[in-house]
Amino acid sequence: MATPGAPLVAPVPLVWRLVTVVEVVDETPHARTLALDVPDWPGHVAGQHLDVRLTAEDGYVAERSYSIASAPEDARVALTVERIDDGEVSPYLAGELVVGDQFEVRGPVGGHFTWRAQDGGPLLLVAGGSGLVPLMAMVRHRAARASGAATELLVSSREREAVLYRDELERLASAEDGLNVVYTLTRSRPAGWSGYARRVDAPMLAEVGPAASASPRVFVCGPTPFVEAVADALVSLGHAAENVHTERFGPTGG
């Protein structure tokens, strides 16, 4: 069920498409981005995801869902996959797969966790770990459309080395066009670290802003406990529940 007040996304026929990997980019020691050539791609909205299907030589099939990292304006569809060592799908996608390899995808999927530049702002984006992926699609879409929507992006990570897209985020934030990126590192910090050093809580959200009185569009993505804690904190700060859109993931085996 779509969250009340969320932008509506027209459904597209969900068919499996054979895609080809055209580029592989290592984002962190445990995550990589796959740029895909998707034939007859119907287009997507920032925040949507894809179903991925892998079929082994013996016929065994494994399926997982992954958020789309690329902006709708990009010619290629990008997925960023964090490797789960005992998983069925992510070790292959994030470790073994090379340019030229093929697999199947279905999508785009999802309608409640989406943002278009014409929806405007202000925006508050809160990411836990790889929950940054669909929010990055929104940030990239914002840049591609030269949107001036005031946007606060709060990224929570165990350590600096685990933050996805670090260089790109710094470049986008340096444009001084209304995007502000804030980090909190929960496990270890580099020498001289001046950012937050704890889990996301209500005081941190209040400091990062925007305030509930500004009625921002809020998007929160990450592991289920993270998302639930952040959503509860936002409501405690006065944010209307219908303005808080959440996407969560749990231990699915990767």
- Mean pLDDT across the chain, nearest whole number? 91
Contact status, residue 56 vs residue 140, Cβ threshold 8 Å: no
Q: Mean pLDDT, to the nearest integer, of 150-165?
A: 96
Residue 4 has pLDDT above 50, yes or no: no
Mind spelling out the 3-state secondary structure of 157-214? Answer: ECCHHHCCCHHHHHHHHCCCCCEEEEEEECCCCCCCCCCECCCCCHHHHHHHCCCHHH
In this predicted structure, what is the pLDDT of residue 249?
A: 79
Domains of the chain in sequence order: 16-109 (2.40.30.10), 117-249 (3.40.50.80)
In this predicted structure, what is the pLDDT of residue 10?
A: 58
Residues of the chain with pLDDT > 70, as a percent, come to 93
In this predicted structure, what is the pLDDT of residue 5?
A: 43
In this predicted structure, what is the pLDDT of residue 87?
A: 83
**What is d(CA 228, CA 91) in angstroms, rounded to the nearest whole number?**
28
Q: Mean pLDDT, to the nearest integer, of 155-174?
A: 95
Residues of the chain with pLDDT > 90, as a percent, come to 81
Residue 6 has pLDDT above 80, yes or no: no
Element (H, E) at 226: helix 224-236
In this predicted structure, what is the pLDDT of residue 1?
A: 30
In this predicted structure, what is the pLDDT of residue 246?
A: 96
Beta strand pairing status for 49-55 and 102-109? antiparallel
Confidence grade of residue 64 (pLDDT, cut at 50, 70, 90):
very high
In this predicted structure, what is the pLDDT of residue 230?
A: 97
In this predicted structure, what is the pLDDT of residue 176?
A: 86
Confidence grade of residue 140 (pLDDT, cut at 50, 70, 90):
very high
Dump pLDDT digits (tens) for 201-223.
999 999 998 999 999 999 999 99
Q: Mean pLDDT, to the nearest integer, of 152-163?
A: 95
